[in-house]
């Protein structure tokens, strides 16, 4: 169930809704988000998250395709990933059905940087074709490192903040802007569900996504500690391929010789260089929802 917490002053006129996704049992996180949004003048609506562990089997079979997950990820989705995705998809359905043109979507374990309100106030300066703007994001391989912005598109949005295209997938759905067109597109792209939700919101092949650099919605370390979705996902992804097992064996050997730190630094330097100059993921008419309906 959803309930509205009225706050003043009003948010920027271009922002119609602030949704906070929260599991009912996480009362401390709910109070944290109500207070955080109140202090920033953001009237927020608490949206009850879907608990994947309690999901009805018939619903699960209707919305999720395990064969697709195995084909794309090499593993099935966890209950937490399915519940998280359905929670965000519920928000998108609300936006489409109720004609909500723009929304800020937040998860309940975040904090804001001082730049957030400036970014929201500069929404009219966003590229005209945006569908999703990631305000919080990190690399798929590390929550401690932000997504690499492409050299081919980055421009100032407000003081100290740039709007950019990414040259890799932007991981995380803990804070982002989405408009009605993006919501409609994501409902189609994620039906049936085959990947975690941020593999759709953060991938330019699914939706027209931009991001702010540096991020202005950040993970709250104290509240996110012990988060089942993130920890289980990392454990499964880390152990799902022989190549990664070989990498761990190689890491053990480098550790024994004292060269692991140097090897890691060299690898990350080349990775950064590659992603910095790599073209943005392709995005075009084949991703238009109407085109997909006609071809499907």
* CATH number for position 188: 3.90.550
Question: Is 242 contained in some domain?
Answer: no
Q: Name the band, by pLDDT with cuts 50, 70 and 90, for residue 285.
A: very low
Query: Is 155 in a helix, a strand, or coil?
Result: strand
Nearest 5°: phi and psi at 138? Answer: -155, 170
Distance between CA atoms of residues 204 and 170, nearest Å = 9
Question: Is 233 contained in some domain?
Answer: no
Give me the mean pLDDT over the 146-153 stretch: 79
Give me the mean pLDDT over the 170-175 stretch: 96
Which residue do the tokens 């003048």 mark? 41
pLDDT digits (tens, 9 = 90+) for 5-36: 444 445 677 899 999 999 999 999 999 999 99
pLDDT at 144: 78
CB 29 within 8 A of CB 108: yes
Q: In this model, does residue 184 exceed pLDDT 80?
A: yes
Using omega within 30 degrees of 0 as the cis cutoff, is the peptide bond preceding 92 cis? no
Question: Is 254 contained in some domain?
Answer: no
Is the CA virtual torsion 289, 290, 293, 296 positive or negative? negative
Range of the domain at 98: 2-225+276-295
pLDDT at 142: 79
Question: Is 183 contained in some domain?
Answer: yes
Q: Name the band, by pLDDT with cuts 50, 70 and 90, for residue 272.
A: low
Distance between CA atoms of residues 35 and 51, nearest Å = 24
Question: Is 251 contained in some domain?
Answer: no
Give me the mean pLDDT over the 153-161 stretch: 92
Percent of the chain at pLDDT above 90? Answer: 63
Q: Name the band, by pLDDT with cuts 50, 70 and 90, for residue 287.
A: very low
CB 51 within 8 A of CB 60: no
pLDDT digits (tens, 9 = 90+) for 37-82: 999 999 999 999 999 999 999 999 999 999 999 999 999 999 999 9
Question: Is 244 contained in some domain?
Answer: no
pLDDT at 146: 85
pLDDT at 278: 58
Is the CA virtual torsion 24, 90, 174, 70 positive or negative? positive
Q: In this model, does residue 157 exceed pLDDT 60?
A: yes
Domain count, the chain: 1
pLDDT at 154: 84
**Helix 228-238 / helix 79-98 crossing angle, nearest 10 deg:** 120
More confident residue, 126 or 269: 126
Q: In this model, does residue 294 exceed pLDDT 50?
A: no
pLDDT at 91: 98
pLDDT digits (tens, 9 = 90+) for 103-142: 999 999 999 999 999 999 999 999 999 999 999 999 887 7
Q: In this model, does residue 197 exceed pLDDT 80?
A: yes
Question: Is 249 contained in some domain?
Answer: no
Is the CA virtual torsion 264, 269, 275, 278 positive or negative? negative
β-strand pairing of 17-22 with 44-48: parallel
Question: Is 247 contained in some domain?
Answer: no
């Amino acid at each position: 169930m959803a309930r509205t917490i009225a706050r003043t002053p009003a948010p920027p006129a271009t922002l119609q809704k602030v949704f906070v996704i929260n599991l009912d049992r996480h009362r401390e996180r709910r109070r944290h988000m109500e207070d955080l949004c109140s202090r920033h003048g953001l009237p927020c609506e608490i949206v009850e998250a879907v608990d994947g562990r309690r999901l009805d089997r018939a619903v699960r079979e209707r919305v999720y395709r395990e064969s697709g997950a195995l084909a794309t990820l090499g593993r099935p989705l966890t209950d937490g990933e399915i519940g998280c995705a359905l929670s965000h998809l519920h928000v998108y359905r609300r936006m489409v059905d109720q004609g909500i043109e723009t929304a800020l979507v937040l998860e309940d374990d975040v904090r804001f940087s001082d730049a957030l309100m400036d970014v929201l106030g500069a929404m009219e300066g966003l590229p005209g074709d945006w569908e999703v703007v990631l305000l919080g994001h990190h690399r798929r391989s590390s929550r401690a490192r932000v997504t690499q912005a492409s050299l081919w598109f980055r421009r100032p949005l407000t003081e100290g903040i740039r709007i950019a295209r990414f040259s890799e997938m932007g991981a995380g759905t803990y804070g982002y802007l989405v408009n009605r067109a993006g919501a409609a597109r994501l409902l189609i792209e994620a039906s049936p569900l085959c990947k975690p939700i941020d593999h759709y919101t953060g991938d330019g092949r699914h939706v027209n996504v931009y991001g702010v650099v540096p991020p202005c919605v950040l993970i709250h370390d104290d509240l996110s500690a012990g988060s089942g979705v993130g920890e289980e996902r990392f454990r499964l992804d880390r152990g799902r391929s022989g190549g990664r097992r070989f990498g761990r064996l190689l890491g053990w050997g480098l550790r024994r010789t004292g060269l692991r730190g140097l090897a890691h630094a060299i690898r990350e330097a080349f990775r950064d260089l590659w992603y910095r100059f790599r073209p943005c993921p392709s995005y075009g008419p084949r991703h238009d929802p109407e085109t997909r309906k006609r071809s499907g």
